[in-house]
Amino acid sequence: MTDTALYPAESPSLASPMPDEPRVIARFGRIDVAEIIGSAISAAALTWLLFSAVAWNGAFGALLIWYATFIVMYRTVARAVHGRLVATDRVMTVVLTTCAALAFVPLVMIIIFVVSKGLKYLTASFFTDTLEAVGPQDSGGGAFHSIVGTLQQVGLAAAVAIPLAILTAVYLNEVKGRMSRGVRFVIDSMSGLPSIVAGLFVYSFWVVELGKGFSGFAGSMALIVLFIPTVTRASEEMLRIVPDSLREASLALGAPQWKTVLRVVLPNARSGLISAAILGTARAIGETAPMVLTVLGSSSLNWNVFEANQDDLPLFILKLIRSPNETQIARAWTGALVLVTLVLFLFTLARILGRDRRKATR
């Protein structure tokens, strides 16, 4: 079919043929940017005028008044240029973008703060030395014993709690057994349990009543109690979004239910389940209150997670940050930096492992 069949002969598109390449469809041009910048500058000028005339001061108040003025001005300008409908759209876009940016502020500030304070002591020896026989004023000394403790305690808790939590989720969403109501109730109430109570429970039952004493394992038990409800609930959500049509397809092929779960449901929920498990772990790494009552803390290395008190990173930070000594406080900040890095690493791992095989190959 030729173009003449589609367009009348005098059609302008025939005189200047359109280039056959992807067009850039601009939604937000230079003028639109200029409107925003102009409104921002004039709002700043007005705020300055107001503050010098009335002799107010205070940076926070100035910021608030500037923002309010800016929104009003921008709305007025946009309305005059584009009309009411577009103006409302633009103003809402600006407000929502501001909100999104504000949500980033605490995160960015925490990271900047922790990094700037923690870098001072971040040396190789921080990862190889302990605090054993290191005086408050001495240089050197590290958190090796705490890192070992954290990895052992959280690793042990995760190894027990994650399979248990996923199996519970399978029971709740796939088996739908007679007890699922009761189980769901217990899981829901457990997820509201304050972490200190989990610590108190292990402390009074295991450490004192049974006389087992403080140990990394006692801390792991407290973490397991906190771990299971979060991971179970997140996993259950992930299983719920696996479409029923896939379960039916599997069952209609003559598959028993356990194979349907193992080969169809779980693989389809894989990425979600990995995220649920790793996010639960990241949460558990930072737990402090129950560890005070179960692990106790220590200055020296203890490889045995089942025997005697251990240290971990939150306890390391807690102990040193309350010290009056500057060197100790600096060490605490380095400990915080390591902890944040560990959590960040786990989140990144969750994103990488959770990446969908389906999307990756498409």
Partner 1 sequence: MNLDVAATGSITVPAIDLRTTDDVFARETADARAAVTPRPGSTLIADSVSAWFGQRKVLEQVSLAMRPNEVTALIGPSGCGKSTFLRILNRMHELVPSAGLAGQVLLDGVDIYGSQMRVTETRLKIGMVFQKPNPFPTMTIEENVLSGLKLSGSKPTMDKRQLVESCLRRAGLWEEVKTRLDALGGALSGGQQQRLCIARALAVTPDVLLMDEPCSALDPMSTRIIEETMRELVQQVTIVIVTHNMQQAARVSDQCAFFLVEEMEQPGRVVEAGTTSQMFSAPGDPRTSDYIQGRFG
Which spans of this chain sit near partner 1 (rule: CB under 8 A)? 243, 245-246, 248-256, 259-260, 263-264, 267-268, 270, 357-358, 361-362
- Considering the complex, state which of residue 68 and residue 179 has its C-beta at the smaller distance from partner 1: 179
SS (H, E, C) 49-107: HHHHHHCCCCHHHHHHHHHHHHHHHHHHHHHHHHCHHHHHHHHHHHHHHHHHHHHHHHH
CB of 240 to partner 1, least distance (A): 16
The DSSP output letter for 332 is H
- Considering the complex, state which of residue 35 and residue 174 has its C-beta at the smaller distance from partner 1: 174
CB of 311 to partner 1, least distance (A): 42
- Considering the complex, state which of residue 120 and residue 181 has its C-beta at the smaller distance from partner 1: 181
CB of 252 to partner 1, least distance (A): 4
Residue 12 φ/ψ, nearest 5 degrees: -65, -25
Q: Residue 322 and residue 17: Cα distance in Å, rounded? A: 75
The closest alpha carbon to 280, from 171, 184, 135, 158, belongs to: 158
- Considering the complex, state which of residue 267 and residue 286 has its C-beta at the smaller distance from partner 1: 267
Entry field: residues in the chain: 362
CB of 257 to partner 1, least distance (A): 9
CB of 238 to partner 1, least distance (A): 14
Residue 217, token pair as written in the block: 């394992």
Cα angle value 68/69/75 (rounded, 5°): 95
Residue 289, token pair as written in the block: 């209150």
- Considering the complex, state which of residue 27 and residue 176 has its C-beta at the smaller distance from partner 1: 176
- Considering the complex, state which of residue 263 and residue 355 has its C-beta at the smaller distance from partner 1: 263
The DSSP output letter for 319 is H
The closest alpha carbon to 315, from 120, 326, 307, 331, belongs to: 331
CB of 267 to partner 1, least distance (A): 4
* Count of other CB atoms within 10 angstroms of residue 135: 11
Q: Residue 269 and residue 260: Cα distance in Å, rounded? A: 13
CB of 335 to partner 1, least distance (A): 41
Three-state SS at 10 = coil
Q: Residue 128 and residue 145: Cα distance in Å, rounded? A: 8
- Considering the complex, state which of residue 30 and residue 358 has its C-beta at the smaller distance from partner 1: 358
CB of 352 to partner 1, least distance (A): 18
- Considering the complex, state which of residue 67 and residue 171 has its C-beta at the smaller distance from partner 1: 171
Dihedral of alpha carbons 337, 343, 344, 345, sign: positive
- Considering the complex, state which of residue 109 and residue 353 has its C-beta at the smaller distance from partner 1: 353
Q: Which residue has the tokens 């498990």?
A: 277
